[in-house]
Amino acid sequence: MLQIALPVLHVTSSKAAEDFYCGLLGFQKEFEYRIDETKADPCYMGVRRDKACIHLSSFSGDGVVGGIAFILVDDVDALHREFKEKNIAIHLPPTDQSWDNREMYVKDADGNSLRFVTEPF
């Protein structure tokens, strides 16, 4: 039985990623792993906001920059207001898609796209 899939997004700087995901988007860091604790990178970290979990890695071979993660949300418009208040750049504002989802896109410094989606009821 499948339970959940966790996206792993490649980042070039774990510090910049933590600042963006935790400092701006409201995620909390759950863990981080470094081979050499005296160096910021490479790093593998997990972040969570509510039930949404994302893993971020600056390790070579863990994907490529420019990945995509779809994140289901209760109200994409409320999240849009929250992000606008924090001056977060919105790549695609809340948009009704032809496949019936309402979606908003935000990109991190590496071009990874977070696609926040409210599904029709």
Q: What is the pLDDT of residues 74-114, one digit of tens each?
A: 999 999 999 999 999 999 999 999 999 999 999 999 999 99
The structure's pTM equals 0.94
Domain range spanning residue 13? 8-118
Instruction: For residue 19, give both structure tokens.
Output: 């600042």
Number of domains in the chain: 1
Quick one: pLDDT at residue 26? 98
In-domain check, residue 2: no
Cα dist. 114→39, 82, 107 in Å?
27, 15, 6
In-domain check, residue 1: no
The per-residue pLDDT for range 11-48, each reduced to its tens digit, is 999 999 999 999 999 999 999 999 999 999 999 999 99
CA atoms of 42 and 7, how far apart (whole Å): 18
Print burial letters for 62-91: b (CB count within 10 Å at least 16), e (below 16): ebeeebebebebeebeebbeebeeeeeeee
CATH of the domain at 40: 3.10.180.10
Quick one: pLDDT at residue 19? 98
